[in-house]
Amino acid sequence: MTQTATNPATEWFERLNVELKELNHEAALYAWDSSTLPTQMATVEKIIQLTKRKAHWERTMCDRGLQHRDFNASLDRAFHLLCRTPQYTDGEISEIAKLLGYMQGIYTETQVCVDDVSNICKQNSEDLLWERTYFQYPDFALKQRSGEKYDEHDKDHICLYGEPEMEQIMTETTSIFSAQINCSINREILHSWAWQSWRLAVGPPMKESYGKLIGHMNIGAQRLGYADIGESWRAELETPNLRELVHRLWRQVKPLYQKLHAVARYFLKRKYPKVENFHPAGLIPAHILGDMWSQNWESLVPLIYPHQVDIEENLKRKNWTGEQLIKRAEDFYSSMGLPMMTKTFWEKSIFARGTNVTKCHGTAANMYDNGDFRMIVCAGNSMSDFYVVMHEMGHIMYYMLASVQPTVFQDGTNSAFQESIGDTIYLSAINPLHLTRINLLNSSFLSPEDEHNLNSFDYVLLLKTAMVKISSIPFSYIMDRYRWALFDGTVDFNAEANNFLWHLLETEQGIKPPTKVDRSEYFDAAAKYHFPDNTPYVRYFLANFLSFQILEGLCRKSIFGSVDSPNELPIPLHRCDLYGSKRAGRLLQKALSLGGSQHWTAVLKILTGSEKISADAMYRYFEPLIELLDKLIQRLDIPVGW
């Protein structure tokens, strides 16, 4: 009996996926340990060895795949996705891993400490607050230590991580610090201290390492034919002229951002009339915007548009645990016919900081092992926590649905789409109908009150959403524009890095540091998790636009049965509730199940009927709010711009 010869191209493809799954599973396990446990050099060394093995394996598979890449479209795409990453020597891999491990450890394990708390409270002294502040660094960075470990039973002494404690000081959601120091110290002073101390704690120790990292990454990128590592990062998004697209989208939405900025500045000036060098038509001091990075202004909503209903307070009164909050997110996804979280998800995920868990940055993980999907989120009782949960569950849903694909296609069509799915569902979940459904809002706030058939609470929700989404756009635009300039040498890292960052923050975001201290020697970008984690940020910028487009497409599918219907939506886009819509769920499942097997334009076409990323849906969503902002600006004679 004659055996049929195995097709060499098919054999290559099958072997690629089997071996890639094993490597990805091993990498996921190490990454999980790294994300949940204090930095351990043993884990770092394992990651280094695995990275070397995977790099050698990729080169071998890519060399073998060259002769098969034109066999069919699927194999060609697999080759493209696998073989576009920079190539590093074993020595470079070791050095990059050590640099990243060191910086990530500094970010996640450094604590800002204060002793003599009661005396600071008693004396109401900003000078004493700074005098009694020091930084406690992880054990692997003893040379950086500027304080000794404290007795955890010493109630007059506190040490705080960047996430979530220092961040919570900025959003005024912490109970750790406010119960002691905030008893008498002015909030603006406290926010200025938190903003400055976090940057002083993590920036200087990371600066030298980040400069070295740039050099090593550029070498590997250039070895594969890229001009620098920035070009390699942009290649992942498979968008010709990505820089031009990003600039165009920012210019489209900047007028809306400037209106939000103007209104926020007006009311902040009324709240903080004594803040130095804060001019009614100028830059906003970064520390009073209610966020460590001035990208989320949600806490300013009551200041601008006070309302009898406080969703934050309603959520706090629910006293939901992290797991209960996640159950409500799961309920929304599953109501659309999407799969429930797996048994392993509930067993292995982390929903609160524990004894051995020091890292709380929201994370979703695909372990590449038969339904093993996990989440890290130190969830509390705030709308920001609800957003993080919905966002991370969007990643999990993408992983679950794309798991039907061969391993090489399971990451999704690109990183921007990965970031957009959870945001899309969140946008649908924070509408008046769903908030009523989960008893965070009284049904009376569904009744129309104005000529647009909207209720006063519609405007609260629109403003809250804008203060999360629109306020973050210039920040996400700046983060990679800044890094691209460092990578290609346009900006000299050692001499100009921090000055260039503040040039962008001032000209594009309209903010400035709390004090006039010369910041040219600092490395303020390190205060954001994605720098030591080396995660590109333009994906979040694009996801912001995609989420509104996808919401509109799913809404059209839900109501009309087609994303291409020429009919106008019978409801405002911000009131589109996808809860229980099996039509929308089936469309989302169809798109996400493709994983990375199709170019992102094909996936966007399925979800929206268009192949182009646009700000149009975003403007339609915020149309009622824009009208409200225009009226406020005119009535209060608020200057726009800076």
Residues marked active site are found at 392, 530
With 0-12 CB in 10 A as exposed, 13-18 as middle and 19+ as buried, what is 73? exposed
- CA–CA separation, 487 and 491 (whole Å): 8
CA distances from 267 to 182, 186, 377 (A): 22, 18, 33
- CA–CA separation, 539 and 237 (whole Å): 8
Q: What is the DSSP letter of 142?
A: G
Q: Cα 606 vs. chain centroid, distance in angstroms?
A: 25
- How many Cα neighbours within 13 Å face the side chain of 243? 9
- CA–CA separation, 284 and 262 (whole Å): 9
Phi, psi of 582 (to 5 degrees): -70, -30
Is residue 469 a contact partner of residue 622, using CB atoms and an 8 Å limit? no
Q: Which helix (H) or strand (E) holds 617?
A: helix 616-621
Q: Taking Cα atoms as reference points, which of 444, 440, 443, 446 lies closest to residue 458?
A: 446
Q: Taking Cα atoms as reference points, which of 280, 254, 283 lies closest to residue 267?
A: 280
- How many Cα neighbours within 13 Å face the side chain of 447? 4
Is residue 336 a contact partner of residue 366, using CB atoms and an 8 Å limit? no
